[in-house]
Amino acid sequence: MSLPRSAFMLARPSSLPPHSRAAWRRSLASAAATTTGTAGKPPTAIVMMNMGGPSTIPEVHGFLSRLFHDHDLIPLPAQRILAPIIAKRRTPKIEQQYTDIGGGSPILKWTKEQGRQMCELLDELNPATAPHKPYVAFRYANPLTETCLEEMEADGVKRAVAFSQYPQYSCSTTGSSLNELYRVARSKNGWGGNGEVEWSVLDRWPAHPGLVDAFAQNIRKALAQYPADRRDHVVLLFSAHSLPIEIVNRGDPYTAEVAATVHAVMHKLNYSNPWRLTWQSQVGPRAWQGPQTSDAIVGLAKQGKKDICLVPIAFTSDHIETLYELDIEVKEEAEKLGIHLTRAESLNDSPIFIRAIADLVSTHLTEHSEGKIGPTSKQILLHCPGCTNPKCGHTKAWLATGGKGATA
């Protein structure tokens, strides 16, 4: 019988000095070894990686500070100087937005629920690698990568899958999360980066049949709200988080993979409606991938379109980009233009989606254990043609060894 995690987590390691932190980890490993020895083998860790969001209003500033300090996501000149200034200035406005959607982001709630249901299915689908346990590693909000690895160490994990919750790969999202995993695991007082864990990576899945089915089902539900004589003429406006053009022009695959998801979904729907792919969440004065979702709605209104259904196509759950940016800001703008705007539900706890990610991980685990695939996909090992980030090479070399400690 396992001890409750509280027995291991009385003091947060982030509050301890480095030498005490190392001792804390050794005590966790000893306790975990004792408990897993009686309870059976340690879990196979399914590490669910995403940007995250502040669960409470007091967490907003820390979230923004981490976000604007991340050069992989938002490249800024003099980043260490500008990032804290921008974060401080934007905090009151973003705090109000999170207040307007209920006092915080629901992304942690949905990620935990998706992981719980996924691992229940995985235990049935893959008894050889059971038990499976979900861990959350957010890039900018709690629980951060450090916390995730601490929990894994406490549980005595030996096998882990770094599972990106971004279906479409970008160096600025999945790439940033993997760089952070490498940095933390390989740091002086880190754990998990020197062969303690056998890692493999699920870095992208833009056209997975289950993902496509889940999106298609939610679109059908949204279209069913329209009268039959208008339904086939509703414009489907797929909306994804944008990227700075300089990242796109380096050869980042994100925009192409988002387009692949959109095309697969429309094929599933038998091209029932007119559609366009648009982009949202631009930050700052630099050029970003367009057209912006709000600008596209203005343009469609000028063409006389009255019915538009938004489809968040690069998100696997609700968070501020859907609940505030689309449901409040964009909807208000559309109403002023005389547009009847609806939105397809986010994937959240969709049974089709949960089954899809369980099947995806199950296949990955089976093929990896049978030697049919390596720790990484071939695609992730290919650098963008215009890559300027030296961190990527170290991370990818480490991942290619299954986390055994090699660096580029």
pTM: 0.88
pLDDT, tens digit, 9 for 90 and up, residues 56-109: 999 999 999 999 998 888 878 888 899 999 999 999 999 999 999 999 999 999
pLDDT, tens digit, 9 for 90 and up, residues 355-375: 999 999 999 999 999 999 999
Q: Residues 208, 241, 364, 368: which is the catalytic one?
A: 208
pLDDT for residue 392 is more than 50: yes
Task: Give 35's pLDDT tier (boundaries 50, 70, 90).
Answer: very low
Task: Give 406's pLDDT tier (boundaries 50, 70, 90).
Answer: low
Q: Could you write out the DSSP letters of every residue in 29-77? A: HHHHHHHHHHH-SPPEEEEEEE----SSGGGHHHHHHHHHH-TTTS--T
Provide the pLDDT for residue 6: 31
Q: At 318, is the secondary structure helix, strand, or coil?
A: coil
Provide the pLDDT for residue 188: 79
Provide the pLDDT for residue 279: 98
132 is catalytic: no
pLDDT, tens digit, 9 for 90 and up, residues 163-207: 999 999 999 999 999 999 999 999 978 899 999 999 999 999 999
Q: Which residues of 319-353 are buried (b: 16+ CB within 10 A; e: fewer)?
A: bbbbbbbbbeebbebbeeeebebbbbbbbbebebb
Average pLDDT score over the chain: 90
359 is catalytic: yes
Q: Residues 123, 327, 349, 359: which is the catalytic one?
A: 359
Instruction: Tally the residues of the chain.
Output: 408
